[in-house]
Chain A
Amino acid sequence: MSAQIPNVQSTDELREKWMKPEVITGSEMLLRSLLLEGVECVFGYPGGAVLYIYDAMHGFDDFKHLLTRHEQGAIHAADGYARASGKVGVCIATSGPGATNLVTGIATAYMDSVPLVVITGNVATTLIGTDAFQEADITGITMPITKHSYLVRDVEDLPRIIHEAFHIANTGRKGPVLIDIPKDVSAAKSLFKPHTEPVMMRGYNPRVLPNKLQLDKLHQAIAEAKRPLILAGGGVVYSGGHEELLKFVETTGIPITTTLLGLGGFPSGHDLWIGMPGMHGTYAANNAIQQSDLLISIGARFDDRVTGKLDGFAPHARIAHIDIDPAEIGKNVKTDIPIVGDVKTVLEMLNIEAGHSSYADEWRTTIAGWKKEKPFRYDDSEEVLKPQWVVEMLNDTTRGEAIVTTDVGQHQMWAAQYYRFNKPRSWVTSGGLGTMGFGFPSAIGAQMANPERLVISINGDGGMQMCAQELAICAINNIPVKVVVMNNQVLGMVRQWQELIYDNRYSHIDLSGSPDFVKLAEAYGVKGLRATNKQEAAAAWQEAMDTPGPVLVEFVVNKHENVYPMVPQGATIDQMLMGDKE
């Protein structure tokens, strides 16, 4: 059995039919417009304000609608769908509480530049502003966390707005766009004129082509640099520029570090790859940044988890910054060579004249030395199950071919450290917002986008309990996500901080009272397995892999494990705690 994948029936014939102007309701316009945008799957939850929309969906099977058990599940699933596919994720919720339940997910997508179209219902236009039942000013509430938003006041605007929303969401710096549709607008009838022509908006012209002079400057800087380094981020994945990046790195011979969101944008096994930088980054990457004389940021935004103490960040480096969003340039780090443009396009252009960075031989040797000297390491054990070992096992059995989604905490960092990524869009994690509850529902979306691939969702026992209800969706739709719960019985990452920074004062981190995860899975009709040592772990995982359909595997892991290296807050990134017992 494979997942009940979207069965799109929007044939050319149907499309032609929709193109004929016809008087229909706003709700029907919405559905047709979504189909015209190529939507295959939406995640949602009904309620009074969207009942006309759901009514229009009755018996409609041109795209798949997944009824989640919480709106947060719906939006994280839409997010996972978008990250794993590059297409726009779509979710629908009702007004008021339905809409506000989306807020965390919208903010998550906004921080990580994920293209979403979020459709909310609202009370009728005549009731807006009266504190009507289930009214919330969701456009106002989400203004700081959306790329753009619409409150539709006239049904005639709907086709245009939907077309614009998809365009805005998935061009330039991507992001979530909200469309708030009052109930009377979804009920109103009007002549439907499909909107398919190119979007022209005066205030919206993302710059794709970089300035040639700046590219020349960068070539010059590379030719002169003795210790050049590339810092690649999520922008590489989002622009689809991973092949161009590989070519650029191989031509220039410049070592490369990829941020948390950049994982998969460059093959982890490559000689010139030196791991992830920042708070839990590699010794090699952090040292390399600090000693580099030219740092080329490609689609990365100098997040504080990457830079550590800003004052002492890359103190010897000239900074080149390639980004589609001009506002990122100079926001956190002073830039010497600003390059505004689409990462893929910029790399394509750079590759035309790229030459080998010939002064950097000594530097490459130094970095290779660091890499060898201090790779990620942990003390393995035969008595207790080590979470790092579990990730290594997952990696070995899947050979980096799976799509991995994670929740937030220690397990997320171990997954980032010990799993090896060779393909873009194989790594789905909440970076900017660090949203617990994201890991599992995002896997559902990732699986819907990739019915044939293996999707593994790695969660902590804390975060798993934030959206566990979506197990129902996996069971009912036979979505074969393999759900991993790393059960350390505590809020692990918080425990780590309390141990290292708050003097072992363990305040409110004990997760006693968690459900029996195996039984929880079974209660939803999902197979549950538990492992407490290596033998059981290997066997359970094998069984999970052999089982078609969803499986939850609980690994009972060592509670006292910490993530190393760790850069304490306020320190520069080369001041790493390595966790070695002296």
Chain B
Amino acid sequence: MIPTTLKHTIAVLVNDQPGVLQRVSGLFGRRGFNIESITVGQSEEAGLSRMVIVTTGDENTLEQVEKQLYKIIDVIKVIDLSSRPMVARELALIKVKAEPAERPEIMGVIETFRAAVVDIGPSSLMVQVVGDTEKIDAMIELLKPYGIRELSRTGATAMIRGNV
């Protein structure tokens, strides 16, 4: 088998304990696993949080990531989302330079992406966009020529499709 470096999206259900994020992210750093993005929030169950981690590596790395995660006592479940059909979304806020004269053009881009303007300044607009990573990348590319002043992305959160 040829080792392939792939992007993997992993969901980790953890006890909502202080330090649990440090335990998980620390493990990645220490073992030389890459973290592309990490998001954390409440889960469907009180006392449990769900982390969604996007990482890169071959199949062996992914296997070790999962096994090492399970060694953390506060980790309850690890699911490799990318092995199945999933929905992944991230949110970005983009503050783009926009003199009044340029606004109609920028609005065109925003509408095409079904993004939204969430704030207007004298010479800028704040845009909110939700979608998969590619969509957000594309949106940023299109806004770049106008001048991006600030950019903040959340990283992906994800779920498997259907009623698994």
> B73 touching A201 by the CB < 8 A rule?
yes
Interface residues on B, range: 20 to 34
> A327 touching B71 by the CB < 8 A rule?
yes
> B64 touching A327 by the CB < 8 A rule?
yes
Which of A143, A168, A330 makes the CB contact (< 8 A) with B26?
A143
CA distance in complex: A151, B18 (Å): 9
Type the 1/0 row for B49-85, where 1 means its CB is closer than 8 Å to any CB of A: 0000000000010011001101111111000000000
Given known A-B contacts A147-B73, A203-B15, A326 and B22 have beta carbons under 8 A apart: no
> A140 touching B19 by the CB < 8 A rule?
yes
> B22 touching A144 by the CB < 8 A rule?
no
Given known A-B contacts A327-B67, A327-B70, A330-B64, A202 and B22 have beta carbons under 8 A apart: no
Type the 1/0 row for A132-153, where 1 means its CB is closer than 8 Å to any CB of B: 0000000110011001110100
Give chain A interface residues in 314-335, CB to chain B under 8 Å.
Answer: 325-327, 329-331
Given known A-B contacts A203-B72, A327-B71, A144 and B19 have beta carbons under 8 A apart: no
> A203 touching B73 by the CB < 8 A rule?
yes
Contacts of A325 in B (CB 8 A): 71
> B73 touching A327 by the CB < 8 A rule?
no
> A140 touching B22 by the CB < 8 A rule?
yes
CA distance in complex: A330, B68 (Å): 12
A328–chain B nearest beta-carbon distance, Å = 9
CA distance in complex: A139, B17 (Å): 13
Which of B26, B68, B74 makes the CB contact (< 8 A) with A327?
B68
Contacts of A203 in B (CB 8 A): 14-15, 72-76
Interface residues on A, range: 20 to 34
Contacts of B14 in A (CB 8 A): 203
Contacts of A149 in B (CB 8 A): 19
Q: Is B23 an interface residue (CB 8 A)?
A: yes
> A331 touching B26 by the CB < 8 A rule?
no
Nearest B residue to A173 via CB reads B71
CA distance in complex: A520, B71 (Å): 45
> B64 touching A144 by the CB < 8 A rule?
no
CA distance in complex: A326, B78 (Å): 14
CA distance in complex: A143, B30 (Å): 11
CA distance in complex: A327, B70 (Å): 8
Which of A144, A147, A148, A330 makes the CB contact (< 8 A) with B63?
A330
Type the 1/0 row for A146-163, where 1 means its CB is closer than 8 Å to any CB of B: 011101000000000000
Which of A140, A144, A168, A329 makes the CB contact (< 8 A) with B73?
A168
Nearest A residue to B73 via CB reads A148
CA distance in complex: A40, B87 (Å): 55
Give chain B interface residues in 1-58, CB to chain A under 8 Å.
Answer: 14-15, 18-19, 22-23, 26, 30
CA distance in complex: A331, B23 (Å): 20
Contacts of B64 in A (CB 8 A): 327, 330-331
CA distance in complex: A173, B64 (Å): 17
CA distance in complex: A118, B48 (Å): 27
A564–chain B nearest beta-carbon distance, Å = 34
Give chain A interface residues in 149-191, CB to chain B under 8 Å.
Answer: 149, 151, 168, 173
Which of B18, B19, B60, B67 makes the CB contact (< 8 A) with A326?
B67
Given known A-B contacts A147-B73, A203-B75, A139 and B63 have beta carbons under 8 A apart: no
B139–chain A nearest beta-carbon distance, Å = 38
Contacts of B68 in A (CB 8 A): 327
Contacts of B63 in A (CB 8 A): 330
Nearest B residue to A164 via CB reads B73
A438–chain B nearest beta-carbon distance, Å = 23
Question: Which A residues contact B (CB, under 8 angstroms)?
Answer: 139-140, 143-144, 147-149, 151, 168, 173, 201-204, 325-327, 329-331
Question: Which B residues contact A (CB, under 8 angstroms)?
Answer: 14-15, 18-19, 22-23, 26, 30, 60, 63-64, 67-68, 70-76
7 extra interface residue pairs, beta carbon distance < 8 Å, beyond A143-B22, A329-B67: A140-B19, A149-B19, A173-B71, A203-B73, A203-B75, A326-B67, A327-B64
Nearest 5 interchain pairs by C-beta: A327-B67, A148-B73, A203-B76, A204-B73, A202-B76
